[in-house]
Structure 1
Amino acid sequence: MEAMDAVGSAAAHTDFSPIGLFLMADIVVKLVMLGLLAASIWCWAIIIDKSLKFTRVRSDMNQFEKTFWSGQSLEELYQTLSQRPTSGLAAVFVAAMKEWKRSHEQNASSYLGVQARLDKVLDVAISRESEQLESRLPFLATVGSAAPFIGLFGTVWGIMNAFSSIAASQSASLGVVAGPIAEALFATAIGLVAAIPAVIAYNKLSGDANKLVGRLEGFADEFAAILGRQLEARSRK
């Protein structure tokens, strides 16, 4: 009876709150917890930033397409957009128009040469925009795949400490091992808290980025066809 009371007293004096578990943890487990918390905070910063950016990019693309297909002169649109920083469809349009005007001013006679340069410029512009859209997303994938294993490392280390406590006290009572095991499991919990939102957000944001890149590629194909027809008409004169 006295032994059970001692176990209950030891367990009762153990602080099982998140802060209490962190403070009681071994230095290695603390480093694991802090690293996972930092990764989780950074993941949420990326998620919020990318969500806002993708919303803004979609809005800008919709506005640009509305203006582009409104019948406004391409030259006027180029003059307007070239005066300020651009992104998305506007950046692709400005890059292609810049190459088009350069070729026109140099009186390039080779239709195939001009077309090849325009295609190259469009590819580079799309690649640049795609890189910006997908930047920092690999970090989410890394955290999503690695965080559970890092948390598991903290768990294993904590369980090792629990066995050390058992050996030192020569007792396997709950009061002896409850604290170290709780600390160990808390490390795994933090790993899952970091990993689950990161995986979900990575899948969602990657899909959104691919859709936006698809719109860039679709517009580039349409615009290249428009410029190609103008090049062909000019070469026949």
Structure 2
Amino acid sequence: MSLASWFLIILKTWSNIRARRVLRSLEAFWSSPTIDQALAALAAQDSEALLAPLARAAIEAARQPAGGGSPWSTPSDRLTRALRSAIQAATGRLESGLTLLASVGATAPFVGLLGTVWGIYHALLNIASSGSLSIDKVAGPVGEALIMTAFGLGVAIPAVLAYNSFARANRLVIAQIDGFAHDLHALLAEPAATTAAQAGTASR
């Protein structure tokens, strides 16, 4: 349990660092002269696959013919669905592993408590078998019980702190992803941008 939580903490820390780097690559996207070049610039720097799939899904939705899809589905609706699906996928990638950290943080103290109860139980058995209360009969089992308690807390505390830190970092990243999605919708929902996106498809 301890090794798994520490491995996940290190992995998520590195993932969050790379996610922040990806968010800084948005400037390259918006400064590109064409939509295709903007997507290529973003994909080249998006090692976490957070923004590039979202931009790609939005551009592909904007490139669909105006009469395509369901008769009650407008181009704006298709764009909204594509962005929502991409945001959900990015959110799932960001939040992967957090359930394990929350579970470790919640259960590790009880595992330590179980060890404490077990140690005290053995201490009482030693006292009962010896018929006298002496420090050597109590010190060993009680010491083991305290070690188990400390071990449980030592596993739970880092897991809880890491969970809270990652949850806050994810909220900030998701907020920026949402903002990027709104900007994309505002850009691609415009008729001129849709025409440019479709022209990019035709030129391939």
Fold-level similarity (TM above 0.5): yes
Residue 68 of structure 1 aligns with which residue? 29
How far residue 149 of structure 1 moved from its aligned partner, in angstroms, is 1.2
Residue 200 of structure 2 aligns with which residue? none
Number of matched pairs = 193
**1:156 corresponds to which of 98, 113, 117:** 117
- The correspondence of residues 190-205 of structure 1 with structure 2, limited to 5 A, is 190-205=151-166
Change (3 A) 1:85 1:179: closer
**2:148 corresponds to which of 187, 192, 200:** 187
CA distance in structure 2 between the aligned counterparts of 1:198 and 1:45, rounded to whole angstroms: 11
- The correspondence of residues 106-121 of structure 1 with structure 2, limited to 5 A, is 107-108=67-68, 113-121=74-82
Matched, 1:127 2:72: no
Residue 138 of structure 1 aligns with which residue? 99
Residue 88 of structure 1 aligns with which residue? 50
Alpha-carbon RMSD: 2.5
Contact 2:102–2:163, Cα closer than 8 Å, also in 1: yes
Letter in 1 for 2:21: S
Letter in 2 for 1:72: P
Letter in 2 for 1:168: S
Give secondary structure in 1 for the equivalent of 2:132.
coil
Give secondary structure in 2 for the equivalent of 1:171.
coil
Contact 1:115–1:228, Cα closer than 8 Å, also in 2: yes
How far residue 172 of structure 1 moved from its aligned partner, in angstroms, is 1.2
Matched, 1:41 2:6: no
CA distance in structure 2 between the aligned counterparts of 1:233 and 1:111, rounded to whole angstroms: 19
More contact order relative to length (CA 8 Å, sep ≥ 6): 1
Change (3 A) 1:185 1:147: same
CA distance in structure 2 between the aligned counterparts of 1:230 and 1:131, rounded to whole angstroms: 32
Contact 1:111–1:231, Cα closer than 8 Å, also in 2: no
- The correspondence of residues 45-56 of structure 1 with structure 2, limited to 5 A, is 45-56=7-18
Letter in 1 for 2:5: C
Give secondary structure in 1 for the equivalent of 2:7.
helix
CA distance in structure 1 between the aligned counterparts of 2:128 and 2:48, rounded to whole angstroms: 66
CA distance in structure 2 between the aligned counterparts of 1:52 and 1:86, rounded to whole angstroms: 11
Change (3 A) 1:232 1:66: closer
- The unaligned stretches of length 5 or more in structure 2 are 196-204
- The unaligned stretches of length 5 or more in structure 1 are 1-38
Matched residues, percent identical?
36
Residue 216 of structure 1 aligns with which residue? 177
Q: Would you identify which runs of 4 or more consecutive aligned residues in structure 1 move more than 3 Å?
A: 78-86, 106-112, 231-234
Change (3 A) 1:141 1:207: same
CA distance in structure 2 between the aligned counterparts of 1:233 and 1:176, rounded to whole angstroms: 81
How far residue 126 of structure 1 moved from its aligned partner, in angstroms, is 0.6
Report the structure number with the largest CA radius of gyration.
Answer: 1
How far residue 231 of structure 1 moved from its aligned partner, in angstroms, is 6.6
How far residue 220 of structure 1 moved from its aligned partner, in angstroms, is 0.3
Matched, 1:174 2:147: no
TM-score (normalizing by structure 2): 0.86
